[in-house]
A and B are shown apart, each in its own frame.
Chain A
Amino acid sequence: MTVRKNQAALTPEEKRAFTNALLELKRTGRYDRFVTTHNGFIMSDTDSGDRVGHRSPSFLPWHRRFLLEFEAALQAVDASVSIPYWDWTADRTTRSSLWAADFLGGTGRARDGQVMDGPFAYATGKWEVAVRVDGRNYLRRALGEGVAQLPTKAEVDAVLAMPVYDMAPWNSSSNGFRNNLEGWRGANLHNRVHVWVGGQMATGVSPNDPVFWMHHAFIDKLWADWQAKHPTSTYLPAAGTANVVDLRDTMRPWNDVTPADMLDHRKFYTFDTEPAAAASQR
């Protein structure tokens, strides 16, 4: 059973295994297909039309399924790897070990935003940005420039305290836990982190930056934390809602998986913060 760990606790060997698996998916072209899929949903998910991946109740189960598929691809390269999560309430500066040269590399240089160190720097020849919204084919970041501060623990706790999963009109103007976590309303959690990292992370092709997966693994963990805090709260809407994915509707692009199938992450993995009942089968 997969255990997802806090990135700050990874050993040097675990960091290397993770980045090597990323590079291998990139080399085979598998990685870029995930970027393309994500951008397709980013562009087609709208507040007044069909919406699956973003700005809608299925934001959380859609990304859980998307990460599961990506994690399976990583594990096909190296069975020991899982997606680490980045707790940006704790590791919140550009000096975090996350951004060191032995892990993701740091912020981009002033002139053009290009990341110059670490395994994903353009000069390594192993990380060309192929699925893009403009002509630049190198990984870019501008840590802390688009917005100065990452969300705080207090801001996260306030969102986790919200008892209702989601509300009509089930889009970027909704109140409730999902939209406050996604960030179109309230303190702005998920969206703000994309902007804080900057570069490709601020665009529709955000998965070009490997930190995408670690950010979303933490968003996914916050969903699980919220479920543990509110055992009687459920995914909404239940049924019969236009343009959005109800509890037992299937989600594109897979068409064989529903939010209900995604509610219990422990069917697939546990977090290093949880009692690992299922993980003891390892």
Chain B
Amino acid sequence: MNKITRRQALGTTAGALTVLGIAGATAHAAATDSRAATTPAGTVDEVYQGRRIQIAPGTGGGHHGGHHSPGLPTVKIDGRELHVMQNADGTWISVVNHYETFADPTSLARAAVRELQGSQLAPMQMGGMA
């Protein structure tokens, strides 16, 4: 599961992936340190297993739940939005890992990358009420 897929490996050399990974992780640590008090889900822009993870903190008031609601961060993997949700106890789930909780949006996004095995997220949509 944690292996870089052949497709990803073809696009980027292993060396570049390592460098980007370390830089991303450092930037993330700095961001969370300085923002922890007000925005637990800080801004993240990192490369993890060859995939770009971008997290923008939610804007506006507290968490209200629901789709695209204020307060929820926007999480993207290679530019495609990952549907995420925060549980009442502060943990996180996504549409990719829906029945398992994660401590923060970054570990949630990384779990989605591992699960995707190189696949792109489908465009986000609300299901029909058939």
A interface residues, Cβ below 8 angstroms from B: 33-34, 36-44, 46-49, 55, 112-113, 131-136, 142, 145-146, 169, 171-173, 183-184, 190-192, 194-195, 202-204, 206, 252-253
Is the pair B100, A40 in contact by a Cβ cutoff of 8 Å? Answer: no
Is the pair B100, A146 in contact by a Cβ cutoff of 8 Å? Answer: yes
B interface residues, Cβ below 8 angstroms from A: 1, 63-67, 69, 83, 85-89, 95-101, 115-117, 119-122, 126-130
Known: A145-B1, A204-B98. A44 touches B87 (CB 8 A): no
CA distance A171 to B128 in the complex (A): 23
Known: A44-B67, A49-B64, A183-B99. A135 touches B122 (CB 8 A): yes
Q: Which residues of A are found within 8 Å of B63, using beta-carbon distances? A: 48
With beta carbons under 8 angstroms apart, the residue of B89, B96, B100 that contacts A173 is: B89
Is the pair A204, B129 in contact by a Cβ cutoff of 8 Å? Answer: no
CA distance A38 to B127 in the complex (A): 8
Chain B residue with Cβ nearest A110:
B1
- Work out how many contacts link A and B, with CB atoms closer than 8 A: 104
Chain B residue with Cβ nearest A198:
B115
CA distance A46 to B67 in the complex (A): 9
Shortest C-beta distance, A204 to chain B (Å), equals: 4
Q: Which residues of B are found within 8 Å of A49, using beta-carbon distances? A: 64-66, 69
Q: Which residues of A are found within 8 Å of B117, using beta-carbon distances? A: 112-113
Is the pair B99, A194 in contact by a Cβ cutoff of 8 Å? Answer: yes
With beta carbons under 8 angstroms apart, the residue of A37, A133, A146 that contacts B130 is: A37
Shortest C-beta distance, A49 to chain B (Å), equals: 4
With beta carbons under 8 angstroms apart, the residue of B86, B95, B116 that contacts A204 is: B95
Is the pair A43, B99 in contact by a Cβ cutoff of 8 Å? Answer: no
